[in-house]
Amino acid sequence: MIRICIAGNSGHAATVTRALPRLPQVEIAGWCRTWTGEPMTEVLDDFAKLGLSPMEYPDYLTMIDDAQPDVLVVDGMFCDHETMTCQALARGIHVYCDKPLAFTLDGLTRVQQAAAASPALLWAMQTARYDPWFYTAKQLVDAGAIGEIRLLTAQKSYRLGQRAPFFRHRAQHGGLIPWVSIHGIDFIRYLYPHAAKTIFAHHSTTANQGYEDLEVTAQLMMTMENDVCAQVSADYLRPANAATHGDDRVRAAGTHGVIEVRGDAVYLINDQNDGSQPVPLEHPPMIFEDFIHTLEGHGSGLLDLSESLEDSRLALLARESADTGRIVNA
């Protein structure tokens, strides 16, 4: 059996519990909160649905030293990702960590060094690669459906709602760009896996409904290899009565067509398609399912450590650009 411990539920830890029905070789060895009052609702609800009652621990270090897991799920306050990840990697424990992997470029270097020195695997929870709509768009791009990509735009829009207390303090939440825009950066890099050259970004706390230093709007532009331009927008301005919590979109314009992802559907315009109807979706494995399969030696190859690190690095550079008002070389 592969033993899993879950530390926190402040982000995407439920991608673990929702994959469990597909992973009979996995058992939950323990769980813990990572800050006082942290709601573990999604994870605990999934435990109940699956008839599980794993042991609760007071903190993640006690948990990993006592339970001796094979994998630690790191999903606490975003400022703690680096320390928790490095502690686990130093013990040879595989880490499935929410993004960003670190809060600073120096911290990201420490994570990279810890991963290089450890036999364990590290992934960030770059969940969008495993959404059927983005996966389908990727398959179409790779099959040449729109020719050579020349322009990409991505959108992440969320309801603000009631956020955890740490969202009021950037020293704990890290900013809109490393938490939300990073998904858009990954959308771009997934469809166009080439290096970024420069980044220019802006963010603003205006209209943040009293959430102190929480940015609620961000925009960034990356110049990429081969003179390709990519843009990412992110916001917490989605109205409360919207039909869904989020609105994720991507548009990739190529020399022979355009792909648009919107409303969890994919639209293709080229010589054979007029874009009026969505194309049939293809279905990848679930992200944590693929993480386990990768540990076992038969993963899909959709994600790896280098991709996880690069998404975090570019997001931290974009935040630097937004803070300074300057173009940053990537």
H or E segment to which residue 328 belongs: strand 328-329
**Which helix H or strand E contains 152, and what residues bound it?**
strand 149-158
Q: What is the pLDDT of residues 74-131, one digit of tens each?
A: 999 999 999 999 999 999 999 999 999 999 999 999 999 999 999 999 999 999 999 9
**Superfamily name and number for 132-284+305-329:** Dihydrodipicolinate Reductase; domain 2 (3.30.360.10)
Identical fold between 2-125 and 132-284+305-329: no
Structure-block tokens of residue 15: 């991608």
Q: What is the pLDDT of residues 196-229, one digit of tens each?
A: 999 999 999 999 999 999 999 999 999 999 999 9
* Whole-number pLDDT of residue 71: 98
Average pLDDT of the segment spanning 192-198:
98
> CA dihedral defined by 29, 30, 34, 36, rounded to 10 degrees?
180
Q: Once rounded to an integer, what is the mean pLDDT over residues 252-270?
A: 98
Q: What is the pLDDT of residue 84?
A: 98
Mean pLDDT in residue range 308-329: 98
The pLDDT value recorded for residue 151 is 98
pLDDT (0 to 100) of residue 40: 96
Q: What is the pLDDT of residues 131-172, one digit of tens each?
A: 999 999 999 999 999 999 999 999 999 999 999 999 999 999
The Cα–Cα gap between 122 and 291 comes to 9
Domain ranges of the chain: 2-125, 132-284+305-329
Question: What digits encode the pLDDT tens for the residues 237-259?
Answer: 999 999 999 999 999 999 999 99
The number of beta carbons lying within 10 Å of the beta carbon of residue 233 is 18
Q: What percent of the chain has pLDDT over 70?
A: 100
pTM score, whole prediction: 0.96
Phi, psi of 32 (to 5 degrees): -155, 155
CATH number, domain 2-125: 3.40.50.720
The pLDDT of residue 189: 97
pLDDT recorded at residue 198: 98
